[in-house]
Structure 1
Amino acid sequence: MFNRIFFIAIIIGVPLSVIGSLMHWPAVLLFVIYCATIIALAGYMGRATESLAIIAGPRIGGLLNATFGNAVELIISIFALKAGLISVVLASLTGSVLGNLLLVGGLSFFIGGLKYKQQKFNIYDARHNAGLLIFAVVVAFVFPEVFSYKLNDADSLTLSVWVSVIMIILYVAALLFKLVTHRGVYQSEHDVAHGDETAEWSKWKALIVLALATLAVAYVSEKLVHTFEEVGRTLGWSEVFIGIIIVAIVGNAAEHASAIIMAYKNKMNVAVEIAIGSTLQIAMFVAPLLVLVSLFFEKSMALVFTLPELVAMVLAVFLTISLTSDGDTNWFEGLTLLAAYLIMGVGFYLL
């Protein structure tokens, strides 16, 4: 049913996005059309990456899902940077971290836990990811924030560039560690391949759908960015709320759906790889890349978040680590993560 709805939304939404932009329809109406179209396109990206996950295996499949899911976020953020909306970009990065850890992880654990009393995943991956989460958020994000109080803007930007380069190098090294040098070393009895499952699409069809959907998302995302200011004024939303809640949910719709489906099918290794792997990719690759890309625009972006954003991300990281370090989940742990997301959402709405 959802596949048909997404197909209809794309067939209607893409032409309406073009027509509405040319005819200058009201910003709020265009905002709704753009968001719905991006979510529908993300749904197709999710189906394509799920097919690739079956073909390539859980780790590479989860990585592909996170990568193409974050591609939407990256595209939206680049256009926002070009428009000078740095606070929206930083807020959307915060929203991605909170959304992946608390919303995606919480929904996956909750919905999967309603069907299965206990769901297990690779405990070695959980411990490995815990260390990287602490490095990416607690070390690499907090450090520039603290030093920014003593540095001028130019020095803060220089520090952010150095931190970004180091984070990207470490992220590439982490992929090399998991997928090449130590592939298969840290396996548990739950890392069983689902060899009897058939991919919905062939490899080439999935790749073509991913490419076309990404191009369409790039076009619609550029139009979406130009509605932020007027929508914020009309609905009374701050740029921080738009970035943390709206852009983050729309930009990560593909992995939201995929992770929940994988958890419902008891494929927790893939679900966790999508939720936590996507967070690591946002923090260690997408955010640093945006810092480097911003150097080519009129306004450069330092890796300096507001204090509420930073505190929210640190709390989300430690809560997630405390609930996932034992290698198993249940519906109550999922509900705990969702409760934390709702509390933070209300806080940022009122901010």
Structure 2
Amino acid sequence: MFNKIFFLAILVGLPLSVIGSMLHWPAVILFVIYCATIVALAGYMGRATESLAIVAGPRIGGLLNATFGNAVELIISIFALKAGLISVVLASLTGSVLGNLLLVGGLSFFVGGLKYKRQKFNVHDARHNAGLLIFGVVVAFIFPEVFSFKLEDNESLTLSIWVSVIMITLYLAALFFKLVTHRGVYQSEHEEEHGHETAEWTKGRAMLVLALATVAVAYVSEKLVHTFEEVGHTLGWSEVFIGVIIVAIVGNAAEHASAIIMAYKNKMNVAVEIAVGSTLQIAMFVAPVLVLISLFFPQPMSLVFSLPELVSMVLAVFLTISLTSDGDTNWFEGLTLLAAYLIMGVGFYLL
């Protein structure tokens, strides 16, 4: 059913996106059209990466889902940087961390837990990811924030550049560790005991769909960014709320759907890899890359978040670690993560 809905949304949304921008329709109407179109395109990206994941295995499959899910977020953020919307970009990065850990993780655990009493995933991966989460969010994001009180703006930017380079290097080293030097070393006995599954699409078709969807997302994302300011004034939303909640949910729609579907199928290794792996990719790769890309624009971006953004990310990380460190989950733990997301969402709405 959702496949048909997404197909119709793309069939209608893409032409309306072009026509609406040419005829200068009201920003709120265009905002809704752009968001719906991006979500539908993300759905197709999710189906394509799921097909590739079946061929590649749970770890690489989760990485593919996270990567192409974050591609939408990266594209939107680049156009926002170009437009000088630094606060929206930082807020969307915050929203991605919160959305992946609390919303995606919470919904995955909750939906999967309604079908299965207990769901297990690789505890070694969970503990490995816990250390990277603490580094990527707590260490690397707090340091520039604390030092920014004593540094000039240009010095804060220099520190952010150094932090970004180090984070990207460590992230690539982490991938090399998991996918090359220690691939299969910590494989869980529960990992992929569900039999062989046939991919929906062939490898070639899946890659073609990914390429076309990414190009379409890039076009619609550029249009979406230009509606933020007017939509914020019309609906009374702050730039922070638009970034933390709206952009993050729209930009990560593909992996949201993929993780929940995998959890429902009791493929928790893939579901957790999507939720946590995507967070790590946002914190340790996407955010640093955006800092480096921003150097080519008139207004460069430092890795200095607001205090509410920073505190919410740190709390989300520690809550997720405390619930996933045992390699076992249930619907109540999922509900706990969702409750935390709702509390933070209300807080950002009221800012």
**Same fold? TM cut 0.5:** yes
1:286 is aligned to 286
**Aligned residue for 2:130?**
130
Give the Cα separation in 1 of the matches to 2:192 and 2:18: 46
In 1, are the aligned partners of 2:95 and 2:248 still within 8 Å (CA)? yes
Percentage of identical aligned residues = 87
Letter in 2 for 1:347: G
Deviations, residues 254-310 of structure 1 (Å, cap 9, x unaligned): 000000000000000000000000000000000000000000000000000000000
Residue matched to 1:317 = 317
Contact 1:57/1:193 (CA < 8 Å) preserved in 2? Answer: no
Q: Give, in angstroms, the shift of residue 195 of structure 1.
A: 4.3
Aligned pair 1:215/2:234, yes or no? Answer: no
Cα-to-partner distance string for 1:134-173 (whole Å, 9 max, x where unaligned) = 0001100000000000000000000000000000000000
Please state if 1:343 is matched with 2:343.
Answer: yes
Amino acid at match of 1:102: L
Displacement after TM superposition at 1:188 (Å): 1.2
Asked if 1:82 corresponds to 2:102, the answer is: no
Letter in 2 for 1:326: D
Query: Could you tell me which amino acid in structure 2 is paired with residue 250 of structure 1?
Result: V
- The 3-state SS of whatever aligns with 2:196 is coil
- Cα offset for 1:191? 1.3
Is the partner of 2:297 in helix, strand or coil? coil
CA distance in 2, matches of 1:24, 1:175: 45
Contact persistence 2:81–2:297 (CA under 8 A): yes
Deviations 1:307-340 (A, max 9, x none): 0000000000000000000001000000000000
CA distance in structure 2 between the partners assigned to 1:11 and 1:283 by the alignment? 34
Runs of 4+ displaced beyond 4 Å = none
* Matches of 2:197 and 2:318, distance apart in 1: 35
Deviation of residue 196 (structure 1)?
Answer: 2.2
1:176-196 deviation line (CA, Å, top 9, x unaligned): 000000000011101136542
For residue 117 of structure 2, what is the aligned residue in structure 1?
A: 117
Determine if contact 1:13/1:37 at 8 Å carries over to the other structure.
yes
**Number of residue pairs aligned between Structure 1 and Structure 2:** 351
Q: Equivalent residues in 2 for 1:103-252 (5 A)?
A: 103-192=103-192, 194-252=194-252
- SS of 2:304 mapped into structure 1: coil
For structure 1, the residue ranges without an aligned partner over 5 or more in a row are: none
In structure 1, distance between residues paired with 2:341 and 2:150:
32
Q: CA RMSD in A?
A: 0.5
In structure 2, the partner of 1:265 is: 265
Q: Give 3-state SS (helix, strand or coil) of 1:201's partner.
A: coil
Number of the residue aligned with 1:98: 98
- String of CA shifts for 1:27-82, please: whole Å, max 9, x gaps: 00000000000000000000000000101101000000000000000000000000
- Secondary structure of residue in 1 paired with 2:53: helix
Q: Is the 8 A contact 1:160 1:303 kept in 2?
A: yes
Cα distance in 1 for residues equivalent to 2:46 and 2:138: 30
The 2-side partners of 1:326 and 1:41 are apart by 35
Equivalent pair of 1:171/1:284 in contact (CA under 8 Å): yes
Could you tell me which runs of 5 or more consecutive residues in structure 2 were left unpaired when the two chains were aligned.
Answer: none
Q: Answer yes or no: is the 8 Å Cα contact 2:92–2:247 preserved in 1.
A: yes
What one-letter code is carried by the residue in structure 2 that aligns with 1:302? S
* CA displacement, residues 5-43 of structure 1 (integer Å, 9 cap, x when unaligned): 000000000000000000000000000000000000000
Corresponding residue for 2:32?
A: 32
Find the aligned partners of 2:335 and 2:194 in 1 and give their Cα distance: 28
Q: Any conservation in 2 of the 1:49–1:206 contact (CA below 8 Å)?
A: yes
* Mapped partners of 2:150, 2:330: distance in 1: 45
Task: Tell me, yes or no, if the aligned pair for 2:192 and 2:267 is still in contact at 8 Å.
Answer: no
The alignment partner of 1:141 has SS state of helix
Determine the C-alpha separation between the residues in 2 that align with 1:140 and 1:306.
14
- Please report the TM-score for the alignment, with normalisation by the length of structure 1: 1.00
* CA–CA distance in structure 2, aligned partners of residues 342 and 191 of structure 1: 32
